[in-house]
Amino acid sequence: MKITHHLDDSTLMACAAGSQPEAMAAVVSSHLAVCPHCREELKKHSLIGEALFESLSPVPVTREAPVVAARSGELGSHPQGDVTHELPASLKSALAGAMDQVPWRRIAPGVWHCPIQLSEDALGDLRLLKVAAGTKLPEHGHGGNELTLVLEGSYSDEFGTFRRGDVADLGDDVEHRPVADPVEGCVCLVATDQKVRFKGLVARLMQPLTGI
């Protein structure tokens, strides 16, 4: 399987359609703010979506139709390719304006996290993860999708090295064991839409502590 340092096409399509869960959208918007390549790809997907929408045949008006039309109009009201990217208020609050002010909580030797509160009905999980230099995370898989954006330092796994600004867009068929940079360590913003599947006894004992 090929894993790039950019957002997957399916992720960009969901972003263009406005159908991403809140946690995933937070990582996507954060990555788009620093990645010209993915911003350009998102413009292409947005244009494709507009073309498909315009090619739809008219349908009889129903009680629900005005709502759908209004939403579609909102999506089409922006200039082509004009996408704004704003970090969610919950993330800004967690960062408190600086990375060194994040209220980290230790969950294992060399590993800290800071869960970020989502909307009441939001699905999935969003958190900051800090890993000390050279620390290996337990091998794990994913019950769903996982997006990891590197904010500081870097980490390596079976798919390569991910540095500041890079994003790992992983599906439910991926298992890996990230290792933080031996000098700088790593700080990441991580979103998942299902629980992580840890391997090994020690790793499984960690799971209740992380809540992931």
CB 197 within 8 A of CB 212: no
Percent of residues, the chain, with pLDDT higher than 90: 27
- The enclosing H or E element of 162 equals strand 160-163
Match 């796994």 to its residue by tokens. Answer: 157
CB 12 within 8 A of CB 131: no
Q: Hey, how many other C-beta atoms are within 10 angstroms of the C-beta on 179?
A: 17
Single-letter amino acid code for the residue at 39: R
- In whole angstroms, give the CA distance from residue 144 to residue 127: 16
Q: Hey, how many other C-beta atoms are within 10 angstroms of the C-beta on 117?
A: 12
Confidence category of residue 168, pLDDT binned at 50, 70, 90:
very high
Go through the domains of the chain in sequence order and give each one's CATH number.
9-58+96-210 (2.60.120.10)
CB 186 within 8 A of CB 152: yes
pTM for this structure?
0.71
C-alpha closest to that of 32 among 84, 67, 70: 84
Lowest mean pLDDT among 46-60, 142-156, 157-171, 186-200: 46-60
CB 157 within 8 A of CB 163: no
